Amino acid sequence: MKSLIIINDPPYGTERLYNGLRLAHALIKRDHEVTVFLMADAVNGAKRGQKTPEGFYNVERMVRRVTTRGRVWLCGTCMDARGLGDDDILDGAERRTMDALAEATEQADKVLIF
C-alpha cells in the first residue's frame, strides 16, 4: 500500500510532526511504501544539526530513520521562505514541488495530514 503523509507543523512546540513521523515509521515496518511531505514550518524537521535536551525526542533522528526505507520530501517554496538551502537538510531528504505532491497524492492509496 502507498501512504502519503503531509505534515505542516514545526518540529518542536507541537507533537504533530513527531506523531506523523512515528506513524510513517510504523507503516514502513508493515511494508508500506511511505512518502512524507514536509510543508510550512515542518521543513525545519529535516534540518541538519538539531540539538535537543537529554531525554527529549530529536526530529532529525526520526526523519533520518524514515529516509532509510521511505521518502521524505520538502516543499521547495517553504524551504526558500525559511532560508533553508539544500546543504542545510539531511541526506535522503529531497526538495520537491507542489506538482510532485499532486502526483504523489494521485498515486497514494491513503493520504494522511498532520
DSSP string, 36-59: EEE-GGGGGGGBTT----TTS--H
**pLDDT for residue 37:** 98
Model confidence pTM above 0.75:
yes
What stretches of the chain show up as alpha helix (H) in DSSP?
A: 16-29, 59-67, 76-81, 98-107
Domains of the chain with CATH codes: 2-113 (3.40.1260.10)
**pLDDT for residue 86:** 96
**pLDDT for residue 88:** 97
Residues of the chain with pLDDT under 70: none
Q: How many CA atoms lie within 13 A of 107 on its CB side?
A: 11
**pLDDT for residue 108:** 98
**pLDDT for residue 57:** 94
